[in-house]
């Protein structure tokens, strides 16, 4: 509900309501102030927008290369066009790898923030990315799929709390649509309206028919 409302009102009221929901979930097990929550969210938003701006600028640099292509059917397979195409493919691959690296680092920041919030882990663990990030294909608007590999399964309470805290942090970026979270849209005077929030970087698996992470199937 917060994500939908935040898209319609820039007032800090909705940020605080979201924080109260998160605080209720932590149930006194975690001490993390509203002010600190805002700082974490704003810093991550700025970092994500920086990645997007950088990728956008580099994509723009490809336009002059495309403009050099001669699309006349008689010379479409010319050596010149072949060289341009090969250069284009090479630069796109390099750009894709660079984007994936940036998003891996961004996701690592989220994991580090969540671990700081939840406190020292009770045993050794790794956060393992799967999906597009594991394949090296992440874009700045991809969803995130991951699991925890833990040394001691007696500590699952901590890791469930850590996973949900990661969901909170990503949700606070205000880029997860209600439908994606398997939440019905809000009703106003008996009329349904479309979820207007931006669809961007989000967690995967919150829909009923999503992946096999704890909040999915």
| Domain count for the chain | 1
In a domain, 24, yes or no: yes
pTM of the predicted structure, to 2 decimals: 0.82
In a domain, 209, yes or no: no
90-113 as b/e: b if 16+ CB within 10 A = eeeeebeeebbebbeebbebbbeb
CB contact at 8 A, 131 and 188: no
In a domain, 208, yes or no: no
In a domain, 216, yes or no: no
Q: Please state at what angle helix 156-171 crosses helix 79-118, rounded to 10 degrees.
A: 120
In a domain, 184, yes or no: yes
In a domain, 210, yes or no: no
> How many percent of the chain have pLDDT more than 90?
42
Residue with more model confidence, 180 or 175: 175
The stretch 168-180 carries a mean pLDDT of: 79
Identify the pLDDT of residue 215: 46
Q: Is the pLDDT of residue 165 over 90?
A: yes
Q: Is the pLDDT of residue 167 over 50?
A: yes
181: domain range? 2-203
pLDDT band, very low/low/confident/very high, at 7 (cuts 50, 70, 90) = low
In a domain, 110, yes or no: yes
pLDDT band, very low/low/confident/very high, at 32 (cuts 50, 70, 90) = very high
pLDDT tens digits along 196-205 = 556 788 876 5
In a domain, 138, yes or no: yes
């Amino acid at each position: 509900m917060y994500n939908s409302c935040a898209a319609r009102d820039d007032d800090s009221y909705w940020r605080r309501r979201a924080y109260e929901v998160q605080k209720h979930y932590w149930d006194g097990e975690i001490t993390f102030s509203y002010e600190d929550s805002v700082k974490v969210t704003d810093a991550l938003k700025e970092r994500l927008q920086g990645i997007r701006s950088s990728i956008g600028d580099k994509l723009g640099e490809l336009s002059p290369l495309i403009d050099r292509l001669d699309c006349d059917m008689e010379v479409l397979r010319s050596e010149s066009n072949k060289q341009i195409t090969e250069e284009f493919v090479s630069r796109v691959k390099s750009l894709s790898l660079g984007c994936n690296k940036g998003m891996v680092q961004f996701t690592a920041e989220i994991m580090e923030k969540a671990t700081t919030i939840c406190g020292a882990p009770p045993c050794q663990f790794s956060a393992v990315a799967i999906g597009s990030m594991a394949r090296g294909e992440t874009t700045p608007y991809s969803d995130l799929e991951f699991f925890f590999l833990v040394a001691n399964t007696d500590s699952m309470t901590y890791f469930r709390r850590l996973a949900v805290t990661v969901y909170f942090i990503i949700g606070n970026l205000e880029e997860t649509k209600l439908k994606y979270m398997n939440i019905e849209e809000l009703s106003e005077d008996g009329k349904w309206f479309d979820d207007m929030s931006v669809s961007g970087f989000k967690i995967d698996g919150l829909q009923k028919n999503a992946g096999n992470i704890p909040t999915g199937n």
